[in-house]
Structure 1
Amino acid sequence: MVGDYQTLKNIIEQSLLTALFQPIYDTEQAQLYGYEALIRGPSNSPLHSPIALFDSAVEHGLLSELELICRQVSIETFAKLGLQGKLFLNVSPMVFLQDDHPKGATLSFLEQYGVAPEKVVIELSERYVVNDPELLAQALLYYRELGFKVAIDDLGSGYAGLKLWSEILPDFVKVDRHFISNIDKDSVKREFVKSILALGANINSKVILEGIETEQEFYQLQELGASLGQGYLLGRPELLPVKILPSVLTTHQRKVKYGNYLDKLASSVFQHAVSFDSQTKTGAIVDYFTQHKHLHSLPIVRDQIPVGMALREEVLELFASPYGRALHEKKPIIDMLSSQPVVVEADTKLDEVAKLVTSVHDEQLLWHFIITEQGRYIGIGSVRDLLKQLTEQQLQQASYANPLTQLPGNVPIYQKIDDLLTKQQAFHFAYFDLNNFKPFNDVYGYAKGDSVIRVLADILQSYCTAEDFIGHIGGDDFIAIFVSDNWQQKADSICQHFDQAIRSYYTQEDLNQGGIVSPSRSGELQKYPILSVAVAVVEPDVERCRSHHDIAELASSAKKEAKKRCKELGKSAVYLCQRRGPDGL
């Protein structure tokens, strides 16, 4: 017995259920997409787990009653918490086979709690087998006609997922976590998910990948083209869901949004080089090396597909013995090659090329590598040029991206501002500066100071959308460029979130006394309040401001006023500068 009848009956009649919410993210846009409602029974009951709860309901014939109360609790809690995005409700297909299951109850709950039907997605789970797919299809079509989106849950875990998918063309398909677990190490799972994503795109069904638990799985799924994800890495089921983007999403957003500043490709070290067919006689190769003393290697191809690299020292050594020429000159060069060269596509990133090159143990092969385009030979790359490019790239890193947060540094910030001014596009420029950061660093140490800087970077990313631009000037100074009208709401939310988050970085003693005591610049002990962020905002007149220098001057003046406001209020604050140009109002 999973659970006795009366225990289950009491849970249903007294609504002794709790709705938890697990976030679903649009990983491509790095923003919340919605929540799946997950039900739990009383914590002190054998029916606490959803599996035990629903198995008991099936056993005792109370599935319809349990389903209805679960939906009501989920919708009510979703509305009371003011959660954003779509609400995914799990529906057992077995209730569709019960004639006494009331119709219209879900719509009634939504109307009662003020939730629009178009925000709701009905998930059909394959957990319980039903032998009448046509009836299930009709039921889901019924929900769709009421304004709901429909989804097939746990695709691949049961009996008829693909069949149902082809018949009813659901709005969403959720791929079972079995196919996500260790997908970065399993080529079969990668091919399965890749085909499901392609099929979803063709029939306009959104694919949600469940059970993402590691960063390796996450990045592998991004490479496959995934855009909707769910799992412990992105957020666990919670009674009060956290409204901040998970760090893996903010990091991914930085890579997508700003990665192109530094990423150079193998094509940047490309150079033309004559290639030889694999059946070319070895004697001809030796003669070519003899005539061109500066060459160290020659690419060998078959129908323009690279098959090897002839190395000067290796080939000439064959002819060094008294009978070497007679033995080898008429043999095809392909038979004389002993090592396989590094072959890369022209669009391979330089750091990936470097990994491949350094994995080669044959020192002679370290002169050059072969570059291809769609598998066909186009030229070679010099390892020396590769190292030179990588060194230059690292030297530029500090100018283009901050090493601590990987956010754009001064150069791309200036480029963005000047570009907006050239286009005469209106924007708000916000300068974020931590108050009393140096004393905090002195007392708590640089490691903790770096953590605070990264937290502020994550908070900025979580509230700024794809159209905004975020930069890290250095130290504890950040900027945000807002082109939308809701900049004030975003700036206020950033301040509020930071004021809450920063408290966990202080000891309880310092929290109780409202700050830390540290020597001032003169050496005297001084009390410094809890860290806060001053946000100085300017709205430049794009017709009068000529370059980023004008914006920097305005922001510098506004920063002083923002810090004054923080001191007056005792917390983070936003100040909007009234000046709009270098010559005043």
Structure 2
Amino acid sequence: MGIEQPVWVRSLEIDRFLEAADQMLRVALQPIVDAHSGEVLAHESFVRGFDDIGFPHPAALFDHAASMRRLFELETCLITKAMTAKAAMPQRASPLLFINLDGRNLARARELRAFIEVQCDLLDLKARDICIELSETHRRFDPDAFAEAVDHLRGAGFMIAIDDFGTGVSGLQMLHQARPDFLKIERFFIESLARDATRRLLVSSIVDLAHTLGSRVIAEGVETIEELVSCRKAHCDLVQGFLITRPSVDVTALEPSYSEVLARAPVPPANGDEIAIETLLEEVAVLSDDTTLADLFEVTAENPDQSVFPMIDTCGLPRGAVRERDIKPLIYSLYGRELARNRAIRLGVQDYVQPIATLESTTPLGPRLELIADRAGDGVIVTRSLQYQGYLSATSLLKLANEIRVRQAAAQNPLTRLPGNNAVQEFLDRCIESPEQCRVAAYLDIDNFKPFNDKYGFEIGDRAILMMASILKSLERDHSVFVGHIGGDDFFLGCEGPACDATADLLARIGERFRHVAESLYNADDREAGYIVGRARDGRIRRFPLLASTIAAVRLPEGYRPASTLEMTQRMTALKAEARRTGQSYLSAELGPVREH
């Protein structure tokens, strides 16, 4: 065992460490941008210069500070630098600064709150300009202590974000306790998102859950156009990563918008529910985040029929809502108004702000109907590019949900519940509008279906169609393939982007899968014979093989734009006829320079 250093030696080492940190450490800011417009909403602060004082990475720096019991001092040093950089930015820059809080300092949330409030006063910043990022790194999760710390920080007016969501063991508990303004999905889930069905399912579920709880979702570590497109399809609100730009120590080099970068990625189709949403938006009294309790009393008195009061900040971002039922006890108490005016009691509107579900007007509502219904009592806030657009009450939400269900039912095939001709046409139109990526479109029909249906009847015929639909739905679920039902025994398949690479193999295997399951529909004699006897379209009696399928596909390479959708459909029709003539179950061609294979 070594000899412990004298106190004066350790004190000198501590002083030198803190002095070096103050003099040599720097902060770099990285933009967090709207996933569609590229407008900058915030900047996150990262430490730089750690290698100059002998540390290989930031974690080693923070661990060393913790071992010297100076983690709080290091944290406040970096917070000061980050806030100073924020204050030095042009007024046109983003209003939010994301600051990472080491989990080991969470027990000192009161002191951190007081420190940041002082820095806000010194630098002429507002509490609403600050977002505190929390994670479970370096700490064993204590729900009660965590909730208390979050309450202290939020009580000052700071926004709250949960960082690296999905990588720890207590993420859902943290989400429940914090009800964060932002949820950051770790890069592990973002990389290979376009090619990994499991990750897509997880990310989509996280996004739906976050939106239902009133949180906006940030995809971290976005490095490629492919990842950006996948994040948009998953309805992430914001993105951050090297694709946008790297963290910069020079804050003057940061732009207010990175729309040119995001314009390189294809835009998902607009939400067909948007018009219905806009027609149902209600005009309600809205609170600002500097509303006082006394102001709130007046607003509620002037709007006696309103039960939910959305709150937005000076930048138009929703901050939650105040529910009339929560403040009613204070309003009608004997000394309620006096308490509201008494600053010494330190009771504010923030103490009554609750999370509320949000809905981006360009996000399809259909998949989220069931999730939102569980919290429909408070209604939802509708946003456009994250900015407050309006409010939907529970009643309006139900009207919208019913309208969407009616639309969906009208657009779907009644037997298979697959999208119908309108959706197929929309996909073909999108193929023309997005030449920057590979696209595949395919027709599929069931061979020998009419004589089979004539012999076995409509009920068994419908079972055959449902079997094919089930096979195709598995492709949609596992491989991001769009599936449509044109009618009868005719189907449509399509895909875009990286998923096209595996499409040929997937389509080629459909026929064998269908033949295998469809055999069970025949009686034993027909199955053993391998055919049925029936009447052909020309009226003649002949033998028909057991059910099979024919697929004709066209591939549009990256950079090729067809003259019209007719070019695609005519080519698929010709390929299907050729496949039938030559006895092939699958035939494809590439548009542009045609290559049969």
TM-score, normalised by the number of residues in structure 2: 0.48
Q: Which has the higher contact order (CA 8 A, sep 6+)?
A: 2
